[in-house]
Amino acid sequence: MVVGTSSSMLGRAFLLLVLSSATEVHGGPSSSAAPCSLLDYICIRLGPWYVLPNVCVSTLCIDPSCRSAPGLPELAMMATRLTVSNATVTKASIQHALAHAKDGKARKVMRSCLQLYTGAVPRLQWAARSVAAGRYSGVPEVLEAAYEHVASECTDLAGKVALPKENDEFYMMAYVAKAVVEWVQLFG
Ligand SMILES: *[C@@H]1O[C@H](CO)[C@@H](O)[C@H](O)[C@H]1NC(C)=O
Task: Identify the pLDDT of residue 141.
Answer: 98
Ligand 1 mutation pick, 63, 83, 86, 95, max ligand atoms within 8 A of CB: 86
Residue located nearest, by CA, to atom 11 of ligand 1: 86
Task: Identify the pLDDT of residue 34.
Answer: 52
Task: Identify the pLDDT of residue 57.
Answer: 97
Give pLDDT tens digits along the chain (188 positions): 333 333 443 344 344 334 334 433 443 344 444 557 999 999 999 999 999 999 999 999 999 999 999 999 999 999 999 999 999 999 999 999 999 999 999 999 999 999 999 999 999 999 999 999 999 999 999 999 999 999 999 999 999 999 999 999 999 999 999 999 999 999 98
What are the structural domains, with CATH classification, of the chain?
37-187 (1.20.140.40)
Going 82 to 83 to 84 to 90, the CA torsion angle's sign is positive
Contact 129, 83 (CB under 8 A): no
Q: Rounded to the nearest whole angstrom, what is the distance from the C-alpha of residue 93 to the centroid of ligand 1?
A: 12
Contact residues of ligand 1, CB 6 A cut-off = 59, 62, 85-86, 89, 169-170, 172-173
Task: Identify the pLDDT of residue 4.
Answer: 38
Task: Identify the pLDDT of residue 188.
Answer: 86
Q: Can you give the pTM of this predicted structure?
A: 0.82
Ligand 1 mutation pick, 169, 171, 175, 178, max ligand atoms within 8 A of CB: 169
